[in-house]
A = this chain, B = another copy of it.
Amino acid sequence: MVEFPPLTYSLDGHDDDKPHEECGVFGIWNAHDAGAMTALGLHALQHRGQEATGIVSYNDETRPGVTGFHTHKGMGLVGDVFSDARIIAGLPGHSAIGHNRYATTGATILRNVQPLFAEFEFGGLAVAHNGNLTNALSLRRALVRRGCIFQSTTDSEVFIHLIAISLYSTVNDRLIDALKQVVGAYSLTVLTQQALIGVRDPLGVRPLILGRIANEAGADKAAGPAWVLASESCALDIVGAEFVRDVEPGEIVVIDHSGVRSIKPFAPKRGHFCVFEYIYFARPDSVLDGHAVYDARKRIGAELARESAVEADVIVPVPDSGVPSAMGYSVESGIPFELGIIRNHYVGRTFIEPTDQIRNLGVKLKHSANRATIEGRRVILVDDSIVRGTTSRKIVEMVRAAGATEVHMRISSPPTTHSCFYGIDTPERSKLLAAQHTVEEMAHLIGADSLAFISLDGLYRALGRPGRDPEQPFYCDACFTGQYPISLADVDVDSQARQTELVTSR
């Protein structure tokens, strides 16, 4: 007999039944208003992290304004933290990097907000990091033993200390020295007085893209183009930059007054780009690794329709992320696509802690059923993933209450059976519904008449890869397969939970 946890009330302001991208990074070089441009880029990357954001700019002596590094960070959305023209004016300079943070715990604190900055013998250095290091805890312990003092509780801070204590003399050598000691997934933007640097880990798990603003209006033409680094191409679009190329796995891109150079300090490996970026994380208008995300999602939906057809009257996406795959499903299956679930975007930052009375109503603050398209119909719901299953259960219940005669759930990813340790916030395995139950049990638990996930092969077909060959990987799919391409030094193999941290002050 299968037990299901009691239906708990979600405050809904933050959907804890989705995996969460843990960050977005941005950097710009040789631009007028580098600080303002970075704020725009971070705004376009807002979907990758909404809890905090920060910018570090550098202004040299040749520009107006105070020379040196300038920092502003805050909790909340980019548009709120950088809402004031005086704040942007306080970030002068021709180069800047920025970071959006999604934190894995509620206790996000300002000193954890990136970019991190440190003063070295050779000058200042700022780092913004998307990803997760898998040996951060071991490194941290060793560094503390050596006398390093950590100010944040983020794994990203080890980069700074490793650079600080490196015996090499140039920034680039120190950076390479540090990179050779860390294990994990990382896309970095680094800012020094001399250069903007982009780094992608040897497997290229997280995205990082290079763009160029050829002829920036108002900028000094002679000074050449402005260069941009960003997690996704949508951040190039907003600042008017053209796409140049993906930074390659294991590549260091150094941008300075003499142009763009590439350093490849690691032995070449096949990349393992995170496949979930295509399924859910990336913005639909981004182009990653040469593929338009929106098209990929529609093809995945079509493949899903081929794999797990069912008779029905209407295809309804779970908004907003399920929309493109539902459209693909609809086109392939010929079943009409309808907006059967309306999403309320005005949820605000917080909402009432409701009374018991209201909790019993099972109120959905973020979604409501559009009865006109559902009542008396057989409904196929299309969503991108099932993590804990709590939201899926509520959605199915809501759709039934609105009069659906049948509710079939189709998921545009394989079952999520393993946690991610490379930069995505997923619950530990024991809380992943697919890790604990068969698909049939899951259907029962979420209350659907049927449930189907796309197969891993189907997913790769849709993405245009010839099938999954461990010898010739394109993607990291550890969350579906448990095959972790990067070693998990800090992870307890049994519980698959991260070890607790040293930090004792809150």
A residues with a Cβ closer than 8 A to B are 13, 32-33, 36-37, 39-40, 43-44, 46-47, 50, 56, 66, 68-71, 76-80, 82-85, 87-88, 110-111, 117-121, 123-124, 126, 144-151, 160-161, 164-166, 217-218, 234, 237-240, 283-285, 287, 292-295, 320, 323-324, 327, 331, 336-339, 342, 344-358, 360-361, 363-365, 368-373, 502-506
Contacts and interface: CB of A to CB of B under 8 A. Distances in A.
Nearest to A126: B505
B351 A83 contact: yes
B361 A70 contact: no
B149 A342 contact: no
A372 B295 contact: yes
A489 to B, nearest CB: 19
A71 B110 CA distance: 14
A504 B193 CA distance: 10
A32 to B, nearest CB: 5
A164 B148 CA distance: 7
A46 B346 contact: yes
Contact of A37 (B237, B293, B358): B358
Contacts of A76: 348
A289 to B, nearest CB: 14
A287 B373 CA distance: 12
A348 B77 contact: yes
8 contacts: A36-B355, A43-B344, A79-B349, A88-B355, A149-B151, A284-B339, A287-B371, A327-B337
Given A79-B348, A85-B352, A88-B353, 19 more contacts: A40-B363, A44-B344, A50-B346, A68-B505, A69-B505, A78-B348, A79-B350, A79-B352, A79-B365, A119-B150, A123-B504, A124-B505, A238-B363, A238-B364, A287-B372, A295-B372, A295-B373, A320-B345, A327-B339
Contacts of A369: 237, 285
A357 B294 contact: no
Contacts of A79: 13, 346-352, 365
A349 B456 CA distance: 41
A177 B121 CA distance: 24
Nearest to A364: B238
Contact of A148 (B149, B360, B506): B149
A357 B150 contact: no
Interface centre among A40, A147, A161 (most CB of B within 10 A): A147
Contact of A504 (B32, B68, B80, B320): B68
A284 B149 contact: no
A372 B218 CA distance: 30
B119 A353 contact: no
Identify the 5 closest CB pairs spanning chains A and B, nearest first.
A79-B348, A292-B372, A147-B165, A83-B350, A46-B346
Given A43-B346, A358-B37, A148 B151 contact: no
B361 A239 contact: yes
Contact of A218 (B151, B327, B357): B357
Nearest to A234: B368
A287 B368 CA distance: 13
Nearest to A90: B506
A94 to B, nearest CB: 12
A482 B292 CA distance: 47
B36 A294 contact: no
Nearest to A320: B345
A146 B148 CA distance: 10
